[in-house]
Amino acid sequence: MKFGVVVFPGSNCDHDMIYVLRDKLGQEVVELWHKNSELQGVDAVVLPGGFSYGDYLRSGAIARYSPIMNSVVEFAKNGGHVFGICNGFQILCEADLLPGTLLHNLNQKFICRNTYIKAANHNNAFTRDVPDTAIRIPIAHGEGRYYADDETIAKIEQNDQVLFHYCDENGNISERANPNGSVKNIAGICNAERNVYGMMPHPERASDEELANKDGEYILQSFIDFVTGKIKN
């Protein structure tokens, strides 16, 4: 499988993602510079974490207009698989590829720590092979509070578009386990067509035995297995 990892000015998790996909999970990976528009025949596009354009205006608001994003939007609308992590999730929302937005954390502070999340269902590429138990995935964001209006939340819940909820280590979903104030403890969502995915926690930072945490591999390997199965068919 061939992944394209987009590099924006200010991306700082691009090489983390490249390392995990290529060296730990054995996938082909190419870097896609944000000023180019060619996707180089990739099977999936990744928008990595970081601080694209210094998070001026709003996180992801300027990156959404980088030349590469025209191709990413077209790719996604034609059924191509796209996922965004942290800043990548913010960019996908700014580009209207995912509903809702990411607001400043409720405590108005940057949060960098391990959190626990739990799959909301198993009917999509990101969660199909993820255990039903809580998994430990780190977060690092200042604008990670997912928000959408009541009508949108009802729609994405009805369509099973929620990927993960923040929870405690025992899998209990509660206000206390919500690190940033996200509505309904939502940590990640997908689009209605289930080919565009976004989440705030960083699975690529929890995919190496040297970090004493490989829970992120459940998510990334699930995605790879799902998409490669689709390609083969």
Q: What pLDDT score was predicted for residue 208? A: 95
Model's pTM, two decimal places? Answer: 0.95
**Counted domains in the chain:** 1
The rounded distance, in Å, linking the Cα atoms of 33 and 37 is 8
- 């604008």: which residue's tokens? 143
Q: What pLDDT score was predicted for residue 233? A: 41
DSSP-assigned letter for residue 123? S
Q: What pLDDT score was predicted for residue 29? A: 98
Q: What pLDDT score was predicted for residue 23? A: 97
Residues 182, 172 contacting (CB under 8 angstroms) = no
User: What is the per-residue burial (b if ≥16 Cβ within 10 Å, else e) of 33-64?
Assistant: ebeeeebeebbbbbbbbbbbbebeebbbbbbb
Q: What pLDDT score was predicted for residue 231? A: 62
From 37, 57, 44, 50, select the one nearest 8 (Cα to Cα).
50
Q: What pLDDT score was predicted for residue 221? A: 97
Q: How many residues does the chain have?
A: 233
Q: Which residues are part of the catalytic machinery?
A: 86, 202, 204
Report the relative pairing of strands 111-119 and 162-167 from DSSP bridges: antiparallel
Q: What pLDDT score was predicted for residue 58? A: 85
Q: Dihedral through CA 140, CA 24, CA 132, CA 149, nearest 10? A: 40
Q: What pLDDT score was predicted for residue 48? A: 98
Neighbours of 113 (CB within 10 A): 8
- Give 207's Cβ-side CA count (13 Å radius): 23
Domain harbouring 37, CATH code: 3.40.50.880
From 25, 18, 75, 73, select the one nearest 50 (Cα to Cα).
18
The rounded distance, in Å, linking the Cα atoms of 142 and 61 is 15
* Residues of the chain scoring pLDDT < 70: 231-233
Q: What pLDDT score was predicted for residue 33? A: 97
Q: What pLDDT score was predicted for residue 113? A: 97
Give the three-class secondary structure for 176: helix
Residue range(s) defining the domain that contains residue 33 = 2-232
From 162, 166, 160, 169, select the one nearest 201 (Cα to Cα).
166
From 169, 161, 155, select the one nearest 186 (Cα to Cα).
161
